[in-house]
Amino acid sequence: MKNHRHELILEIIESRPVPTQEVLAELLAKKGIKTTQATLSRDIQHLSLVKQHDADGNYRYTLPKEAETEKSLFAEAVISVDYAMNTIVLKCRAGMAQGTCVAIDSANHEGVVGTIAGDDTIFILVRSEADAKKLTKKFKSEIFYRR
């Protein structure tokens, strides 16, 4: 549940300005996630979200620059993403699979059983085909983040 809530929080702050925790709570509620202010505070801290000025000079929650860089690195390393049943396959640029796999492992994605990387390929075993489809969609969106 926490991972799902975190994914929704990231989707929300990337899709529109979120100036306060109250607004974030309202947007989560519209997606069927009711949460307390204390939980949101912990989520914001766990996700390392920061408040920054946007182009209009208004405050909004954003990912720190480091997270933006990590997404950019993922987009540079991964060439394609596909899945078959409950296994996801990421094709990477030569020599970049192992580092990318470490980043995937550290993200603790929901449903991941384990990963294995070679020089240019990563296999990710997930619990179900639904998990594979969901994580494949997320990875594909990160590939095209900066392209």
* 25-39, 57-71, 95-109: the lowest-pLDDT one: 57-71
Structure tokens at 80: 């394609």
CB 78 within 8 A of CB 91: yes
Model confidence band, residue 67 (pLDDT cutoffs 50, 70, 90): low
The values of phi and psi at residue 49, to 5°, are -70, 150
Domains and CATH numbers, the chain: 2-63 (1.10.10.10), 70-143 (3.30.1360.40)
Structure tokens at 102: 């470490």
Model confidence band, residue 119 (pLDDT cutoffs 50, 70, 90): very high
Residue 50 has pLDDT above 90, yes or no: no
Residue 62 C-alpha from the chain's centroid: 13
Sign of the CA dihedral with 99 first, then 52, 144, and 82 last: positive
Instruction: Read off the pTM.
Output: 0.55
**Euclidean distance between the first and the last CA atom of the chain, given in angstroms as a whole number:** 31
What is the per-residue pLDDT for 70? Answer: 57
